[in-house]
Chains A and B, each alone.
Chain A
Amino acid sequence: MKNEALYNYVLRLGDDSLILGQRLGEWCGHGPILEEDIAMTNISLDLIGQAMSLLDYAGVLDGQGKDHDSLAFLRFENEYRNALLLEQPNGDFANTMMRQFLFDAFRKPLYEKLLESTDKQIAAIAEKSLKETRYHLKHTSEWVIRLGDGTDESHQRAQTALDLLWRYTDELFFQTEEDTTLISLGMVPSMSEIKAEWSKTVLSVLEESTLVIPTNNWQFEGGRRGMHSEHLGFLLADLQYMQRAYPNMKW
């Protein structure tokens, strides 16, 4: 039972990285300037790398011989556990940066706490991934400030992005009944600790950006339970095409 709870937890982390990595990769060749095209695909590559480590470990916990490839390519939509935020379409550059910032501000404190996990493999993955995530957060924080406190148009676009994405942020801190077992075993932190850290970062960056948190705090949830928006199906059709069309193909 302990293993099943941990499997579900690691799967959520792995799916977050995988789906956001795939989304960001869509910018390849379409970035507003070459440097940002390279930056977004670099971040995407780090996320896909983290997804590989996480999904491989999920496969080990599951104990049925699955690895990152089978978990990434051979599941149905309702078996993915990523948060809804991460499957949302890229929109414009401001929207992509805002989504990435809201996620990075969540991932950094999470990895910092997971460093102390009593589960050695989770701690090792966190140690490796934290260094990359810090670098991403620095990049996206700077962009959110630059856009928010920039021209009238960049400010308006950044504010529109925040208004659109804010409703998906609560779901990042989703915690199940079975997670409490993992928390009591010191394997994972409580999400309330992570949310406090996240809020601190987000509030200070938004303040400097001159952006305002929307007053309507209606929140969506569902991704963590496998209830996704229509966007995930299209993303997976792209991601899984080769393995579905030519099962077990390798190159």
Chain B
Amino acid sequence: MVTKESILSWLDEVCDPEIPVLSLADLGVLRGVEYLNDEWQITITPTYSGCPAMKTMEDDILLKLKEHGVEAKVHLVLSPAWTTDWLSESGRKKLKDFGIAPPENEVDKSVLFAAQTVVPCPRCNSRETKMVSQFGSTACKAHYQCLICSEPFDYFKCLK
């Protein structure tokens, strides 16, 4: 008998193709699992509008469920819009262990040069780091460098 719990535990194995240490649930992209109209309905939301990983995530979800003999439909919703608040605690830890600084809990919404958020280095934990670029290797990251150990690292941008 397939239950919501079993679906959720199978989906725990489906990861973000760009950040393979994070499951879709860790990332907060997985928004709902429901049985409706004789079919499992899986709801996901994009991190960024143009995130090219969304299609892969959808395919991976369907493939994983198929392995367990379950047919499902995947729906993409835009609202409520994804925020880094939905990143789980375990997700934040996994990010740091992977070398990506997790989002600091403040977002800069000002238009002009504002004081930059302090982002500790994921390698040596120093708080003396500098932003190299507001944009990074994927839409959800910015590029930083540690001034103590010189490590260049990705910062998972805070989005609220």
Contact = CB atoms under 8 A, between A and B. Distances in A.
A165 interface: no
Given A39-B133, A53-B78, A128-B78, A141 B111 contact: yes
B45 to A, nearest CB: 8
B48 interface: yes
Given A53-B49, A123-B79, A134-B109, A46 B139 contact: yes
B80 interface: yes
A138 B110 contact: yes
A124 B79 contact: yes
B9 interface: no
A142 B112 contact: yes
A49 B46 contact: yes
Nearest to A142: B113
A67 B79 CA distance: 20
B133 A141 contact: no
A128 B46 contact: yes
A125 B81 CA distance: 9
Given A38-B135, A38-B136, A50-B49, A128 B79 contact: yes
* Residue of B46, B49, B111, B143 ringed by the most chain A CB atoms within 10 A: B49
B157 to A, nearest CB: 8
A129 B49 CA distance: 7
B149 interface: no
A39 B87 CA distance: 24
Interface string B108-149: 111111000000000000000000111111010001000000
Given A47-B50, A49-B50, A127 B79 contact: yes
Contacts of B32: none
Interface in A129-148: 129, 131-132, 134-135, 137-139, 141-142, 145
Main secondary structure of the interface of A (DSSP, over half): helix
Nearest to A123: B79
A125 to B, nearest CB: 6
Contacts of A132: 48-49
B125 to A, nearest CB: 25
Contacts of B111: 137-138, 141, 201, 205
A138 B112 contact: yes
Contact of A35 (B49, B51, B52, B132): B132
Per CB-CB distance, the 8 closest pairs between chain A and chain B, nearest first, are A49-B50, A49-B49, A124-B79, A35-B133, A45-B50, A42-B135, A39-B135, A124-B78
22 contacts: A38-B133, A42-B135, A46-B48, A49-B49, A49-B50, A49-B51, A52-B49, A123-B79, A124-B78, A124-B81, A125-B78, A128-B49, A128-B79, A128-B81, A131-B160, A132-B48, A132-B49, A135-B157, A138-B108, A138-B112, A145-B112, A201-B111
Interface of A: 35-36, 38-39, 42-43, 45-50, 52-53, 120, 123-125, 127-129, 131-132, 134-135, 137-139, 141-142, 145, 201, 205, 208
Given A49-B51, A128-B78, 4 more contacts: A128-B46, A138-B108, A138-B110, A138-B134
